[in-house]
Structure 1
Amino acid sequence: MKETYYVGAYWLSRRESAETCAQRAESFFRLLASCDPSLAHWFRKGRTLEEALKHRLEPDAASLAKVFHQQAQKEGRFADDGFSLRGWNGQTHEAASTLSLLCGDASVWVSNSCLFNPPEEGPAEERVLQTSVLAQILRAMAMAFEPEWGIATSSQHRNLVAPESARAGTFVGWLMYFSHRRGPLPPLPPPVHIEAVENKGTLVILTPERFTASNPAHVELARDVAERLAQAGLLTPLRPWET
């Protein structure tokens, strides 16, 4: 069975205004557009292809803030509920990518998140599912949303190492992001590569080639890294954001 991949960033209990969430989303869309040509334009989802293509997402902060305010009024949201957004890149079939966002939620039970699902077939998949491109996407999430933790990996490997009930921040995958607030990283074995994300955190990249759950060497490397990170206290559940 072919493996499917995703990129996600997570943070807990950080209440933010519609304007702040819109500014963060604008920054993310700007950075995402530079990762691949297929990620330059986004649309709100609709019931049909024709309907969806009529609702282009304008990625500037003012337009996004308007969307969030309209959402809050329509759904009767409280100030602590945060703001959500779902998008699709307007491509059909093999080039389609989707994303979803929850920002500004103050709950200690539901994490804020930014999730990206890359293309699953064709040339767009081959371009996006490169270590360097996924690192750019995860870095964009880290820069824009300042999450506590992030990951890019296959859904199959996630299901192998993390039960469905596990909280985000408790398993190892192909690429990971750790905020500095989680603590320093321990020494990690080759071929693991580490990159700083300005003064915010660190990217950890397990392999330069595509990581798969069907490769025993990849699974064993992930297990070794997981043991080291767990001993360093980096695989604990997310913590409420401290203001």
Structure 2
Amino acid sequence: MSAMYVGAYWGARAEPASTCAARLARCLESLHGAHPALTSWCHKGRSHAGARRPVDVDPGSLTTLVERGRARRDVDDETIDELGFTGGMWNGQTPSVGLTFQCGATFMPIGNNMVLQLSGGGEGETLTEPAVARAVLDSLVNAWEPAWVTWTTDAWRNAQGAEPGRPVVGWLTYLRGVPAYGIPDELASVAMAGGVLVSAALTFAEVTEERILSVREALRGAGALDLRGGGSEVGS
């Protein structure tokens, strides 16, 4: 299976490290209840021991983690405020889940995002149970207030040829600011937190590349993909 991921994307939003950390904390707290594999996190590291060091999820510790990812110039170590903050962690268990984020950026070729890289097959299939998937999307949407979210794969993304910053359609696609009544009747959609959630199929296993392209064409024809999330869509 091509790499599966859930990506949330939004445009220019100048936020300090403390605000980004508060959003991250809300997201992690919500993900905690979505699936056992999302209950705890570890720092990334070059050694086995380093990659097993737990992430403290209290606001102060997360603010320090976010601040550590502030963009700086190589020459003089000066901060580059327009690039915001980057960071990442992983869950340290099976199924494996990686988490990366970029927040506080105002330079839109970079953009802001949070991406969950998900294991496919085996125990990873439990992450695609509809109730779990909806809980994961709710966590990202409520915490980060993104312009759009996609639950997709590298192969499906590449097949679409979407412009940088434009929504990429997946099994599940959230579009902020798009009303449910603006979605074509032939597509399964439901209102969700200031926007709409569109499903390409009832389950992840039922989705095909042809179905993804069909849903994308229907959404494009309805003008539902005209919003921009800023920067290049990142999934790997």
Fold match (TM-score > 0.5): yes
One-letter amino acid matched to 2:147? E
1:235 maps to: 225
2:177 maps to: 180
CA root-mean-square deviation: 2.4
Question: Between the two proteins, what is the percent identity of the paired residues?
Answer: 27
1:206 maps to: 200
Name which of structure 1's ranges 178-187 and 32-41 shifts more when overlaid on structure 2. 178-187
User: Quick one: structure 1 residues 22 and 195, their matched pair in 2 at CA, closer, same or farther if it must change by over 3 Å?
Assistant: same
Instruction: Show the 5 A alignment for 1:111-122.
Output: 111-122=111-122
One-letter amino acid matched to 1:175? L
1:131 maps to: 130
Distance 2:178 2:224 in 1: 10
Distance 2:166 2:205 in 1: 19
Q: Give the C-alpha shift of residue 108 in structure 1.
A: 2.0
User: Quick one: structure 1 residues 184 and 101, their matched pair in 2 at CA, closer, same or farther if it must change by over 3 Å?
Assistant: farther
Name the SS of the counterpart of 1:127 in structure 2: helix
Q: 1:197 aligns with which of 192, 195, 208?
A: 192
One-letter amino acid matched to 1:205? S
Distance 2:182 2:135 in 1: 20
Gaps of 5+ in 1: none
Q: Give the C-alpha shift of residue 183 in structure 1.
A: 9.3
2:55 maps to: 57
Moved over 6 A (4+): 181-184
One-letter amino acid matched to 2:192? V
| Contact 2:180-2:196 within 8 A present in 1 as well | no
CA shift digits 1:123-172 (9 cap, x unpaired): 2x121022332222122111100000110012211122226xx3143432
User: Quick one: structure 1 residues 186 and 114, their matched pair in 2 at CA, closer, same or farther if it must change by over 3 Å?
Assistant: same
Q: 1:68 aligns with which of 66, 69, 77?
A: 66
Name the SS of the counterpart of 1:207 in structure 2: coil
One-letter amino acid matched to 2:62? L
Distance 1:18 1:34 in 2: 25
2:46 maps to: 47
2:214 maps to: 224
2:22 maps to: 23
One-letter amino acid matched to 1:152? W
User: Quick one: structure 1 residues 158 and 69, their matched pair in 2 at CA, closer, same or farther if it must change by over 3 Å?
Assistant: closer
Q: Give the C-alpha shift of residue 52 in structure 1.
A: 1.5
Name the SS of the counterpart of 2:34 in structure 1: coil
User: Quick one: structure 1 residues 95 and 188, their matched pair in 2 at CA, closer, same or farther if it must change by over 3 Å?
Assistant: same
Name the SS of the counterpart of 2:23 in structure 1: helix
Name which of structure 1's ranges 218-227 and 168-177 shifts more when overlaid on structure 2. 218-227
| Contact 2:6-2:116 within 8 A present in 1 as well | yes
Q: Give the C-alpha shift of residue 238 in structure 1.
A: 1.3
Q: Does 1:169 align with 2:166?
A: yes
Q: Give the C-alpha shift of residue 239 in structure 1.
A: 5.6
Distance 1:148 1:73 in 2: 23
Q: Give the C-alpha shift of residue 181 in structure 1.
A: 6.4
Q: Give the C-alpha shift of residue 73 in structure 1.
A: 8.7
User: Quick one: structure 1 residues 210 and 62, their matched pair in 2 at CA, closer, same or farther if it must change by over 3 Å?
Assistant: same
One-letter amino acid matched to 1:196? A
Q: Give the C-alpha shift of residue 177 in structure 1.
A: 0.6
Instruction: Show the 5 A alignment for 1:76-91.
Output: 76-91=78-93
